[in-house]
């Protein structure tokens, strides 16, 4: 039995199931149960999370009420309206689109967030007995009630989150189907109506409310990763419940060796000029970083170059061309498959793990992810800006994300959003540092694109050096997209199982080295200790999400249970 139980109705809207992806990426272990089974198990939980279209009968409602009254904690995410009294709110109506504003800075849940917290759909409410921690406004910024309400009910503690946070994360990440040009920015900063269908044409964020400039520039960009913060709200609501209960729980951290964030550099080989390729490779080699080379059809690099990339542990990925619209370069699955096979032969590599689309081309919504999945491409990097005004996080996050299919299942292609194209060429060099700062604050991945075609232009080489060195100063390592995808796949195999009270086991079917775990230390605990397989171990105090944690780094052998006692 887990400490955290997520209660779902299998007949809910499919985006509701994205909670599994959000918690899995956050490294939080949970049990998923059907509403009808909650009654049997409720007393064993530390926190229950009620999500989506749930409709409890009277007897189950009574059990939930008893559970909270006797000291349980619960989180309400756009769920059964008949439970509103327990959560200290009164539901009003649906909201189409809005923002979470006026966040209470003294609360664990709402401190440290600075994006526009743009949300789509879900329920409005206002606090009755509960305490509001944030307000909700509609798309015109008119008051629409409270957004986050915490409540004491009997001996228990509850949190209600208005609007459909999970659906909002999915919509911002995946966008709407790309079938025509998007609306350009009214200030002329992003003319995405360029007759080329691309990822930006499906984006749903707001030109006015979701952008801020990178100082000292005055031109707005998507500087704050909104979906990172919407995810964080859910994670921090869970952490708050543990604080209230004076309990801890192991969280599988995003990266190994205690790394707090990662950087990635990709290169699109447009024009395939050999001299410029050597020139760029020379720069990254001197900086001692490994990067991802996305190669465009019909190629042109000599075999020695591909060999050098492989010998030096650089990644070779596909740069799918559906822009040229000549033979084999159209937006069709056949042409994608053709180019995939072509590159494997051209570069002399056994498999391809990753892709970025030339000019961030995109059509429809999910079909391209399916094409990738069918070919075993595990990482895509196409979601990102092609214009100055869409630089940053137009798809919401600095965290890599798996898409959810319309049937509620995960599509096994990790999207690593790209933050900007070439510094100097598309934006000033200092944008690099501003974007890295945003990523650092959210423990995400800073993905920069530099084309070899621009490397010999004035100041570009220095820009590459500056962004690499600045990321290093923030403690980031530079990884290839394959390394990022492989790590995410690996860490998803690790299981944390709650045994009882303060005992856990950690297992994995494969061996994984230098895994980072963090344990919340509630303020009320002053003699926190961690035993691994019966031995007390040293831990490092760190602050994450505004809370105190103990960090440990361990190696996990395949199929060997690690016993953790707090
Ligand atoms: Zn390109």
Q: What value does the mean pLDDT take over residues 500-522?
A: 96
Measured in Å, residue 25 CA sits from the centre of ligand 1 at 30
* Identical fold, 256-489 and 493-565: no
Measured in Å, residue 268 CA sits from the centre of ligand 1 at 5
pLDDT tens column, 336-376: 999 999 999 999 999 999 999 999 999 999 999 999 999 99
Measured in Å, residue 208 CA sits from the centre of ligand 1 at 29
pLDDT tens column, 276-295: 999 999 999 999 999 999 99
Measured in Å, residue 319 CA sits from the centre of ligand 1 at 7
Measured in Å, residue 445 CA sits from the centre of ligand 1 at 21
Measured in Å, residue 279 CA sits from the centre of ligand 1 at 18
- At 37, is the pLDDT very low, low, confident or very high (cuts 50, 70, 90)? confident
Measured in Å, residue 204 CA sits from the centre of ligand 1 at 24
- At 501, is the pLDDT very low, low, confident or very high (cuts 50, 70, 90)? confident
pLDDT tens column, 443-493: 999 999 999 999 999 999 999 999 999 999 999 999 999 999 999 999 999
| 3 state SS of 323 | coil
Measured in Å, residue 109 CA sits from the centre of ligand 1 at 41
Domain 493-565 has CATH 2.60.120: no
Q: Which residues, by Cβ under 5 Å, contact ligand 1, an ion?
A: 268, 270, 358
What percentage of residues in the chain have a pLDDT greater than 90? Answer: 94
Which residues contact residue 275 at a Cβ distance below 8 angstroms, ignoring those fewer than 6 apart?
none
Which residues contact residue 473 at a Cβ distance below 8 angstroms, ignoring those fewer than 6 apart?
none
- How far apart CA 398 and CA 140 sit, in angstroms, is 27
Measured in Å, residue 212 CA sits from the centre of ligand 1 at 27
Measured in Å, residue 294 CA sits from the centre of ligand 1 at 8
Measured in Å, residue 267 CA sits from the centre of ligand 1 at 9
Where exactly are the structural domains of the chain?
A: 4-170+226-247, 256-489, 493-565
Measured in Å, residue 75 CA sits from the centre of ligand 1 at 45
Relative to beta strand 47-51, strand 4-8 is parallel
- At 35, is the pLDDT very low, low, confident or very high (cuts 50, 70, 90)? confident
Measured in Å, residue 111 CA sits from the centre of ligand 1 at 40
- How far apart CA 368 and CA 197 sit, in angstroms, is 13
Nearest alpha-carbon partner for 231 in 169, 179, 178, 167: 169
Residue 181 has pLDDT above 70, yes or no: yes
Which residues contact residue 17 at a Cβ distance below 8 angstroms, ignoring those fewer than 6 apart?
8, 404, 408
Measured in Å, residue 344 CA sits from the centre of ligand 1 at 18
What percentage of residues in the chain have a pLDDT greater than 70? Answer: 100
Measured in Å, residue 301 CA sits from the centre of ligand 1 at 15
> Which tokens sit at 88?
């200290």
Q: Which fold has domain 256-489?
A: TIM Barrel (3.20.20)
Measured in Å, residue 292 CA sits from the centre of ligand 1 at 13
Q: What value does the mean pLDDT take over residues 406-424?
A: 97
Measured in Å, residue 377 CA sits from the centre of ligand 1 at 18
Measured in Å, residue 418 CA sits from the centre of ligand 1 at 13
Say what the pLDDT of residue 280 is: 98
Measured in Å, residue 214 CA sits from the centre of ligand 1 at 26
Measured in Å, residue 277 CA sits from the centre of ligand 1 at 14
- The Cβ of residue 390 has, within 10 Å, a number of other Cβ atoms equal to 27
pLDDT tens column, 194-240: 999 999 999 999 999 999 999 999 999 999 999 999 999 999 999 99
Residues facing residue 100 across a β-bridge: 136
Measured in Å, residue 482 CA sits from the centre of ligand 1 at 19
> Which tokens sit at 40?
């049997």
- CATH architecture assigned to 4-170+226-247: 3-Layer(aba) Sandwich (3.40)
Measured in Å, residue 358 CA sits from the centre of ligand 1 at 4
Nearest alpha-carbon partner for 103 in 150, 64, 55: 150
Measured in Å, residue 103 CA sits from the centre of ligand 1 at 41
Say what the pLDDT of residue 1 is: 56
Q: What is the largest CA-CA distance in the chain?
A: 74
Measured in Å, residue 383 CA sits from the centre of ligand 1 at 13
- At 335, is the pLDDT very low, low, confident or very high (cuts 50, 70, 90)? very high
Measured in Å, residue 426 CA sits from the centre of ligand 1 at 14
Measured in Å, residue 431 CA sits from the centre of ligand 1 at 21
Measured in Å, residue 79 CA sits from the centre of ligand 1 at 44
Measured in Å, residue 270 CA sits from the centre of ligand 1 at 5
> Which tokens sit at 166?
């999970």
Measured in Å, residue 226 CA sits from the centre of ligand 1 at 27
Measured in Å, residue 560 CA sits from the centre of ligand 1 at 46
User: 327-360 burial string, b = 16+ CB within 10 Å, else e?
Assistant: ebbebeeebbeebbebbbebbebeebbbbbbbbb
Contact 274, 300 (CB under 8 A): yes
Say what the pLDDT of residue 526 is: 85
Measured in Å, residue 207 CA sits from the centre of ligand 1 at 25
Distances (CA, A) of 207 to 118, 177, 183, 202, 368: 12, 19, 10, 14, 26
Measured in Å, residue 269 CA sits from the centre of ligand 1 at 7
Measured in Å, residue 160 CA sits from the centre of ligand 1 at 45
């Amino acid at each position: 039995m887990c400490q955290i139980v997520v209660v779902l109705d299998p007949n809910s809207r499919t985006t509701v199931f994205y909670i599994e992806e959000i918690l899995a990426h956050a490294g939080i272990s949970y049990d998923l149960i059907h509403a009808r089974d909650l009654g049997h198990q409720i007393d064993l939980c530390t926190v229950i999370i009620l999500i989506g279209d749930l409709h409890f009968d009277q007897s189950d409602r009574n059990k939930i009420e008893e559970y909270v009254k006797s000291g349980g904690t619960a989180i309400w995410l756009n769920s059964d309206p008949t439970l509103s009294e327990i959560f200290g709110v009164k539901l009003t109506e649906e909201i189409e689109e809005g923002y979470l504003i006026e966040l209470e800075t003294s609360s664990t849940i709402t401190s440290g967030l600075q994006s526009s917290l743009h949300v789509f759909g879900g329920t409005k409410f206002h606090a009755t007995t509960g305490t509001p921690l944030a307000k909700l406004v509609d798309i015109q910024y008119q008051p629409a009630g409270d957004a986050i309400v915490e409540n004491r009910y009997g001996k228990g503690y509850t949190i209600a989150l208005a609007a459909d946070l999970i659906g909002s994360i999915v919509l911002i990440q995946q966008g709407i189907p790309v079938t025509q040009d998007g609306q350009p920015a009214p200030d002329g900063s992003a003319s995405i109506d360029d007759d080329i269908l691309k990822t930006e044409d499906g984006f749903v964020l707001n030109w006015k409310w979701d952008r801020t400039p990178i100082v000292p520039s005055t031109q707005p960009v998507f500087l704050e990763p909104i979906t990172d913060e919407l995810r964080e709200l859910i994670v921090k609501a869970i952490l708050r419940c543990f604080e209230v209960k004076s309990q801890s729980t192991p969280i599988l951290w995003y990266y190994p060796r205690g790394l707090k964030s990662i950087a990635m550099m990709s290169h699109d080989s447009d024009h395939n000029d050999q001299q410029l390729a050597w020139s760029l490779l020379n720069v990254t080699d001197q900086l001692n970083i490994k990067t991802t080379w996305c190669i465009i059809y019909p190629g042109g690099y000599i075999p020695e170059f591909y060999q050098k990339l492989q010998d030096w542990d650089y990644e070779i990925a596909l740069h799918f061309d559906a822009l040229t619209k000549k033979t084999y370069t159209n937006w069709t699955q056949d042409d994608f498959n053709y180019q995939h096979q072509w590159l494997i032969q051209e570069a002399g590599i056994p498999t391809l793990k990753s892709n970025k689309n030339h000019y961030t081309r995109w059509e429809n919504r999910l079909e391209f992810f399916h094409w990738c999945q069918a070919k075993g491409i595990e990482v895509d990097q196409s979601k990102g800006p092609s214009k100055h005004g869409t630089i940053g996080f137009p798809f919401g996050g600095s965290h890599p994300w798996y898409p959810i299919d319309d049937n509620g299942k995960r599509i096994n292609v990790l999207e690593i959003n790209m933050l900007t194209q070439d510094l100097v060429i598309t934006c000033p060099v200092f944008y690099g540092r501003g974007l890295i700062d945003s990523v650092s604050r959210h423990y995400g991945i800073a993905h920069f694109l530099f084309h070899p075609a621009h490397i010999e232009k004035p100041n570009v080489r220095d820009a590459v050096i500056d962004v690499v060195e600045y990321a290093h100063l923030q403690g980031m390592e530079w990884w290839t997209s394959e390394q990022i995808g492989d790590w995410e796949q690996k860490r998803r195999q690790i299981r944390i199982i709650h045994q009882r009270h303060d005992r856990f086991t950690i297992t994995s079917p494969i061996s994984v080295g230098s895994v980072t775990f963090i344990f919340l230390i509630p303020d009320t605990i002053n003699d926190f200790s961690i035993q691994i397989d019966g031995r007390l171990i040293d831990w490092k105090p760190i602050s994450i999400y505004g809370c105190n944690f103990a960090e440990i780094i361990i190696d996990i052998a395949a199929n060997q249970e690690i016993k953790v006692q707090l």
